[in-house]
Amino acid sequence: MKFKVLGCSGGIGGALHTTSFLVDEDMLIDAGTGVGSLSLEAMCNIDHIFLTHSHLDHIASIPLLVDSAGYLRKKPVTVYAIPETIDALKRHIFNWVIWPDFSLIPSPESPYLRYQAISLGETIDLGGRKITPLPANHTVPAVGYRLDSGKGSLVFSGDTTTNDALWDIVNGMANLKYLIIETAFSNSELEIAILSKHLCPCLLGEELKKLEKEVPVYVTHLKPGELCLIMKEVEQSAGKVKPEMLMNGQIFEI
């Protein structure tokens, strides 16, 4: 299983794009602005989109992707998400006010977009590729994901703050190879991080103390303009763990 970073920033500007990961050629984990870097041909290959939650930086490209590629495809794009996220998409995005409802276009029987509700801990098996929603603690209902090829697993925390439930699961994974975890703010913005249920370096340091495995850790969702500051503070707060900053274009083999 190949996992490619299309976007991993907490904002936009220049080469920075928001959260979106391409798995092999046919799957997205979140669909932020990084999806826009794909060619139309590559967009037409996307059959599955797994969403962590409903915030704009994680869903922004879905309406345009479906509009651009839907008529070129022979089957709908399937969006997998917890029911609360699906409800938000239906009510606030694909509502004929912000964007057409592509679950009804060109017809309800043959739409460009379909939804599949998933639940915490439920594993979706796509040809031996297992995707499992993990607990997240955010301002809206949210999940992270485990991607398991059988040979190895990658965990993406999604947007989250302090989250004991995640570590209970992560520490039980026998084949964990990579951990990607968010850290959105610098320590000077601790109050904002707490209010918005994100991590900052000092909170990340406390979370990483709960990690019982020696695996590479990558930090994502950093705010533009604070990359160097946040990573310096991460280095100071992370203890024995040595997290690296996730980079656009980075590829992981699972």
What domains can be seen in the chain, in order of their start residue? 2-253 (3.60.15.10)
Q: What is the pLDDT of residue 140?
A: 98
Contact present, 157 and 182 (Cβ < 8 Å): yes
Average pLDDT over residues 180-207: 98
Q: What is the pLDDT of residue 136?
A: 98
Contact present, 200 and 193 (Cβ < 8 Å): yes
C-alpha 222/C-alpha 120 separation (Å) is 26
Q: Are strands 124-126 and 129-135 parallel, antiparallel or unpaired?
A: antiparallel
| Beta bridge pairs of residue 251 | 4
pTM over 0.85: yes
Q: What is the pLDDT of residue 14?
A: 87
Q: What is the pLDDT of residue 239?
A: 87
Nearest to 56 by CA among 75, 32, 76, 78: 32
Contact present, 213 and 177 (Cβ < 8 Å): no
pLDDT-based confidence at residue 188 (cuts at 50, 70, 90): very high
Q: What is the pLDDT of residue 121?
A: 95
Interval 86-143: pLDDT, tens:
999 999 999 999 999 999 999 999 999 999 999 999 999 999 999 999 999 999 999 9
Q: What percentage of the chain exceeds 90 in pLDDT?
A: 98
For residue 57, is pLDDT > 90? yes
